[in-house]
Amino acid sequence: MIKLKSFVLLFLFLTTILITTVTAKPVTVDATSRVEYAKFNSTSLKSEINYAISFPPSYNKDTSRRYPIVIFLHGLFNDEKDWQDRGIQEKLDELRSTGKVGEYIIAIPYGANSFYLNAKNGLRYEDAIVKDFIPFIDKTYRTNPKNRMIAGISMGGYGALMIAFKHPEMFVGVAAHCAALFEELPKAPTSPKDARGKYRYEIATELYGKPLDLEHFQQNNPLFLAKINQEKIKKLKIYFDIGKQDRYGFETANQLLHEILTKASVKHEFNFVEGEHGWSFLLARSEPAFIFYWNTLKIN
């Protein structure tokens, strides 16, 4: 009798396991996005410009839906392919797979080494982004123009802050990662050993003229724009971060921007953390960065 009872209990136990195995369905999240590459015609630059666009997983499935949009600006000596090549897209997909980040389009224009401003040399990259690229993206893809933010890394961080602070009506938020900001107009180095000073000065002469034009520098400097447009930019969600080991020394100007915004009572999130400069920094900071993107876009 005891043996029979044990057999019955064992049978019920095995049956339960079998039913559970057959009926249970694993919960999966389709976080696979796709990145495409194409060109757009820029009237401001009088040429065709490359761009990349990252579509969220449901873009081709839900053809009636319009999506939030992030305009992302790459760094110096980079191009629109670096977003995918440096593993940033893969990190975004990982965060989507865990449900920490939702769906939005990311559009990355090629910006050469322009810092995305209308430079003294005649190249009008600010106009190319604001007047050409953004309208083209909104016309070509199912974006929600009322739910748009701009972001960037290094040179692109400078460009994102500059454009957002000049045109706050176009965006709900801005994010900058290890932004290449200048607290003052760079001067010619006094020592041939000053590699950092030489690098900064050479960039400045390309952007602000030779001799350097102080007024042009200020008109395109996010730190100066944060002061003169402080009331207008209060509507923006603002995020920027910088590494303590930034090899170009941009942490000083980033900290100064934090102080300027704080003094002006402009809400923002600033993170001064361990890390170097460039794509590796963004990879390390991808979770808080992309969660900020999503929290900014989903509430509008």
Q: Return the SS3 of 30.
A: coil
Q: What is the rounded distance in angstroms from the CA atom of residue 95 to the CA atom of residue 189? A: 44
Q: Which of 294, 293, 298, 296 is nearest to 151 (CA)?
A: 293
Q: Where are the domains of the chain?
A: 29-298
Query: How many CB atoms within 10 Å of residue 153?
Result: 31
Distance in angstroms (rounded) separating the CA atoms of residues 147 and 270: 22
Distances (CA, A) of 180 to 4, 41, 133, 248: 78, 27, 22, 8
What CATH class is the domain 29-298?
Answer: alpha beta
Tell me the two tokens of residue 280. Answer: 């590796």
Residue 53 corresponds to which tokens in the numbers above? 């666009």
pLDDT tens by residue, the chain, 300 residues: 444 444 444 444 444 433 333 333 333 345 568 999 999 999 999 999 999 999 999 999 989 999 999 999 999 999 999 999 999 999 999 999 999 999 999 999 999 999 999 998 889 999 999 999 999 999 999 999 999 999 999 999 999 999 999 999 999 999 999 999 999 998 888 888 888 888 888 888 888 988 999 999 999 999 999 999 999 999 999 999 999 999 999 999 999 999 999 999 999 999 999 999 999 999 999 999 999 999 999 865
Pairing type for strands 105-109 and 143-153 reads: unpaired
pTM: 0.88
Task: Please name the residues in contact with 98: beta carbons below 8 A apart, sequence gap of 6 or more.
Answer: 29
